[in-house]
Amino acid sequence: MNVVNRRRLLTFLAGLMIVAVPVSAAVAVPSSFVRHENRYWTWYAPQRWVASYNRNGIDITSPTGTKLAGTAYSTLAQCPSNTASFFRQVRTLLKQQGALYSKPLRSARYTSVGPVRNAGGGDKTQHSTFRGTRRTGAGIRGELDLRLIRQGGCAVVGQVSSAPSRGYRNSIGLLRQIQRAVFYHPS
């Protein structure tokens, strides 16, 4: 999904205003990563990786665009009363909007949807995995992590990591490292 579609999705969910909070906590960054910075985001990844971004999110892709580490967030007008139902709606919209991979998918399906878990402070999280097929027939695999933040209001954060099925086990570790090294900063 490109950043424009992600922004539309989060606007649909409630994106009335943006909160200036870090998306990830400080972490050790691999020595092979370099610091990248733009107007809203600081992120660490291999040198030639690129990003598309706006205030609502950032899509970080490998030089060929075949690996994606995407983060998006938005405040919500009100906290949902049923977190499982809310997360189901977000998963459905991400799939429909083409937000699970950096290139168009012919098909996609969730292969596992984890339970909604308490994450402290009233926050809730859920981990899901998915598979898809590009229009070229190439297989894609990925994971989606959703977090409902209930501290000082209500917000949702979504992080998607996806790569070709071939070599996925090697790719997902790198994508997780990148996800942990993404930070939002107000301009």
Write out the DSSP string of 81-129.
Answer: S-HHHHHHHHHHHHHHTTTTSSS-EEEEEEEEEPPPEE-STT-EEEEEE
pLDDT digit string, tens, across residues 131-162: 999 999 999 999 999 999 998 889 999 999 99
Residue 97 domain boundaries: 3-25+37-184
Does residue 31 sit within a domain?
A: no
32 inside domain: no
Model pLDDT for residues 66-107, shown as the tens digit of each residue: 999 999 988 999 999 999 999 999 999 999 999 999 999 999
Task: Evaluate if residue 10 carries a pLDDT over 70.
Answer: no
Q: DSSP class of residue 48?
A: T
Query: Does residue 30 belong to any structural domain of this protein?
Result: no
Query: Does some domain include residue 18?
Result: yes
Burial class (CB in 10 A: 0-12, 13-18, 19+), 97: middle
27-67 residue pLDDT tens: 688 999 999 999 999 999 999 999 999 999 999 999 999 99
Judged by DSSP in three states, 185 sits in coil
Number of separate domains in the chain? 1
Whole-number pLDDT of residue 17: 30
Q: What CATH number is associated with residue 174?
A: 3.40.1000.10
Identify whether 49 is part of a domain.
yes
3-state secondary structure of 79: coil
**Collapsed DSSP state (helix, strand, coil) of residue 13:** helix
Instruction: Identify whether 149 is part of a domain.
Output: yes
